């Protein structure tokens, strides 16, 4: 019987600081994963933590992750250099419901680092433009620097039907929009019959977005949300990640709003 | 296969089992009776009252190196009660893909025995008093003799080797039961409906210390944490598995958010897991009515009264 707890040591091929405390890593490992799934990264002595890969799932010679310095493990990983090794295992979870997205317009909402599990899906959309309808991509962040993957913005603007970013706070000379993500969502005219909404971000953001989407008559079983919980084992055993009657590492991390709305308040 | 054995032959039968297996059996330890590895039969081996800790303590023992290959073991549980046998059957489903659990469980032998109900147990509520799930069952008869039932191939093979008269037919004595009753028909709906009973849950949480003693003794509490341990000498590091308890603060905390910040949230989650999420995931309540949590609770919280009260409030609210 294979030991599902066993991790694989992988070499860091490239490293870039995206923003203070937030590091992008390219790892020498071929990972077969579906957009929206997560992996467990670890360093001996510092424990394990779930992160979502943010790279193209088709061009999977390497896997890319973004690690934000929020605890002892992430701090230690962020201090590593190119050539050092980290450990990983996975992927786990269900991923975005790709079949349900086919030939639909997609409204994609990401707050801050919420863009990370959505980025593999964006690659998928760009590679298969005929499979999807209109793409609306809205990104919100705390301030202009917190928008990660700014290098991709030009491509996204060109490839997607509608692309807008917004920030909470910005210096006076900032040229972009200031406000919250629902400010971008409200003026949009969406076709409720063929639109699917996907969102990931701070959990406080989601009910507001859902309210706005429901005003546009998008049914709650076509609104998908990626949840973050403490997925310690990823195998459905340790019980740290339950959200009401669902285990986020097994039944999630992607849930439709209809299923999960009552569980979030439990 | 059924045999009639004298006490002396039961003792010899124990030795037969012990020759093949590492036998865990109720033993006296510091004035308490607990499940301990024991080579010889003694008067505690067929103890009628509960052991402090359930068999999960052995089957889910902390693992020092989670990334190592588990060593297959031959364990036997001699003299455990039917509630614990049912709990093992549920654990088998939950931990089917965990190699460390399987290494201990796959070749194990269960020798169950009858028991005496205490004031805190209620196994009949969950059907955990049925004679099933074991390899062998030892029943003490009124004349001081023992009837041994073998239910599995492993059990038959062992029993064949023992001295004693083969019985053509024998029947199980029903397991004694007390007056504790819980109505299960609406229990899941009642527990699921937290908002309706917020005051009730808050009242219980006000008395609960959040110590997690109930989770430690529960035969169906199994959550765990992993900790990296560094060898002080070699500098080697192992990822170890240790017990955890969902009653502990920070149990579900992530870097920037605690999803269950208050004791009431964590207490509610325990009941929700046992009576709502458990049945959804495994088709069975995560409770066998052994009553150990009642005995262990330093705040004298009583699961029977808590569940009955919720049932009553639910009845009043819905009728």
- Residue B191's nearest CA partner among B34, B303, B79, B28 is B303
pLDDT band of residue B319 (cuts 50, 70, 90) is low
Percent of chain B topping pLDDT 70: 99
| Domains observed in chain A | 8-92 (2.40.30.10), 98-226 (3.40.50.80)
Query: Is there a cis peptide before residue A196, judged by omega within 30 degrees of 0?
Result: no
Determine, for residues A45 and B226 on separate chains, whether the beta-carbon distance falls below 8 Å. Answer: no
B125 backbone φψ class: left, alpha, beta (φ>0; ψ -120 to 50): alpha
* pLDDT beneath 50: ranges in chain A: none
Q: pLDDT tens for residues B145-171? A: 999 999 999 999 999 998 888 888 888
CB B25 within 8 A of CB B5: no
Q: In what order do the strands lie in the sheet with A254-256?
A: A177-178, A162-167, A135-141, A105-111, A195-200, A223-226, A254-256
Residues contacting B123, CB < 8 A, separation 6+: B82, B83, B86, B117, B129, B175, B177, B288, B289, B290
Tell me whether B273 touches chain A (CB under 8 Å).
yes
pLDDT of residue B232: 77
Determine, for residues A245 and B277 on separate chains, whether the beta-carbon distance falls below 8 Å. Answer: yes
Query: Is there a cis peptide before residue B288, judged by omega within 30 degrees of 0?
Result: no
- A-chain CB neighbours of B194 within 8 Å are 266
Interface test with A, best of B64, B72, B215, B259 (most A CBs within 10 A): B259
pLDDT of residue B179: 80
CA B66 to chain centre: 23
Tell me whether B280 touches chain A (CB under 8 Å).
yes
d(CA B80, CA B90): 16
- Residue B138's nearest CA partner among B161, B113, B163, B159 is B113
CA distance B126 to chain A (A): 21
d(CA B22, CA A146): 59
**Closest chain B residue to the Cα of A48, Cα to Cα:** B226
d(CA A201, CA B113): 54
Kind of pairing between the strands at A242-243 and A246-247:
antiparallel
**Alpha-carbon Rg for chain A in angstroms:** 18
CB B73 within 8 A of CB B102: no
Both tokens of residue B291?
């009553």
**Closest chain A residue to the Cα of B230, Cα to Cα:** A45
Percent of chain A topping pLDDT 90: 67
- Residue A184's nearest CA partner among A103, A121, A111 is A111
Determine, for residues A266 and B66 on separate chains, whether the beta-carbon distance falls below 8 Å. Answer: no
CA distance B26 to chain A (A): 28
Average pLDDT, chain B: 90
pLDDT of residue A92: 94
Tell me whether A146 touches chain B (CB under 8 Å).
no
The residues spanned by each domain of chain B are: 2-167, 187-318
A-B interface: how many C-beta pairs under 8 angstroms? 91
Q: pLDDT tens for residues A185-214? A: 888 888 889 999 999 998 889 899 999 999
- Residue B76's nearest CA partner among B43, B107, B52 is B107
Q: Average pLDDT, stretch B178-188?
A: 83
Rounded to two decimals, the pTM is: 0.90
Interface test with B, best of A48, A69, A239 (most B CBs within 10 A): A239
CA distance B45 to chain A (A): 32
d(CA B270, CA B274): 6
Give me the residues of B, 61-100, that contact A with CB < 8 A.
66-70, 94-95, 97-99
Provide ipTM, 2 decimals: 0.86
- B-chain CB neighbours of A232 within 8 Å are 225-226
Reply yes or no on whether the pLDDT at B36 is more than 70.
yes
* B9 to A33, A107, B151, B162: CA distances (angstroms): 59, 75, 19, 7
Residues contacting A69, CB < 8 A, separation 6+: A21, A22, A23, A75, A78
Q: Look-up: residue for tokens 């020092």?
A: B64
- B-chain CB neighbours of A1 within 8 Å are 97, 99, 102
């Amino acid at each position: 019987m294979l030991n599902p707890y066993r991790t694989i040591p992988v070499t860091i091929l490239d490293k870039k600081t995206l923003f203070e405390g937030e590091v992008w890593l390219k790892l020498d490992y071929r990972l077969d994963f579906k957009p929206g799934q997560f992996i467990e990264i670890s360093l001996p002595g510092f424990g394990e933590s779930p992160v979502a890969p943010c790279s193209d799932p088709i061009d999977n010679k390497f896997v890319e992750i973004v690690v934000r310095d929020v605890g002892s493990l992430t701090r230690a990983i962020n201090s590593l250099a190119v050539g050092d090794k980290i450990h990983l295992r996975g992927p786990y979870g269900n991923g975005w419901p790709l079949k349900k997205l086919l030939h639909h317009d997609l409204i994609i909402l990401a707050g801050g680092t919420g863009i990370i599990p959505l980025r593999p899906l964006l690659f998928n959309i760009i590679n298969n433009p005929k499979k999807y309808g209109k793409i609306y991509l809205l990104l919100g962040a705390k301030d202009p620097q917190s928008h990660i993957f700014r290098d991709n913005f030009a491509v996204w603007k060109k490839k997607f039907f509608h692309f807008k970013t917004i920030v909470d706070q910005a210096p006076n000379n900032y040229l972009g929009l200031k406000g919250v993500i629902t400010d971008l969502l409200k003026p949009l005219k969406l076709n409720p019959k063929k639109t699917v909404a996907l969102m990931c971000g701070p959990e406080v953001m989601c009910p507001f977005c859902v309210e706005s989407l429901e005003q546009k008559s998008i049914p709650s079983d076509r609104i998908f949300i990626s949840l973050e919980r403490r997925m310690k084992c990823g195998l459905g055993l340790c019980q740290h990640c339950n959200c009401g009657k669902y285990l986020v590492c097994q039944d999630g991390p992607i849930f439709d709003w209809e299923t999960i709305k009552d569980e979030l308040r439990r | 296969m059924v045999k009639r054995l004298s006490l002396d032959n039961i003792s010899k039968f124990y030795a037969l089992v012990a020759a093949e297996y590492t036998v865990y059996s109720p033993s006296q330890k510091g004035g308490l009776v607990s499940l301990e590895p024991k080579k010889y039969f003694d008067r505690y081996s067929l103890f009628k009252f509960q052991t402090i800790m359930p068999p999960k303590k052995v089957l889910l023992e902390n693992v020092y190196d989670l990334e190592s290959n588990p060593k297959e073991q031959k364990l036997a549980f001699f003299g455990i009660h039917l509630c614990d046998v049912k709990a093992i059957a549920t654990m088998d489903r939950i931990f089917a893909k965990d190699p460390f659990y399987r290494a201990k469980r796959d070749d194990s032998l269960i020798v169950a025995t009858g028991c005496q109900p205490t004031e805190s147990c209620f196994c009949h509520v969950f059907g955990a008093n049925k004679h099933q799930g074991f390899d062998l069952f030892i029943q003490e008869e009124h004349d001081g003799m023992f009837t041994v039932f073998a239910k599995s191939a492993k059990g038959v093979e062992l029993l064949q080797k023992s001295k004693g008269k083969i019985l053509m037919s024998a029947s199980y004595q029903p397991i004694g039961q007390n007056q504790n009753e819980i109505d299960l028909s609406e229990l899941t709906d009642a527990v699921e409906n937290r908002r309706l009973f917020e005051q009730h849950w808050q009242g219980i949480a006000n008395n609960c210390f959040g110590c997690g003693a109930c989770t430690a003794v529960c035969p169906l509490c199994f959550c765990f944490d992993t900790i990296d341990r560094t060898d002080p000498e070699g500098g080697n590091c192992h990822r170890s598995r240790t017990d955890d308890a969902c009653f502990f603060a920070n149990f579900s905390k992530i870097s920037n958010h605690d999803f269950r910040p208050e004791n009431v949230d964590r207490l509610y989650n325990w009941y929700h897991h046992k009576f709502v999420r458990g049945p959804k995931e495994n088709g069975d309540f995560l409770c066998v009515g052994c009553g150990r949590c009642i005995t262990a609770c330093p705040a004298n919280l009583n699961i029977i009264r808590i569940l009955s009260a919720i049932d009553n409030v639910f009845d009043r609210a819905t009728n």
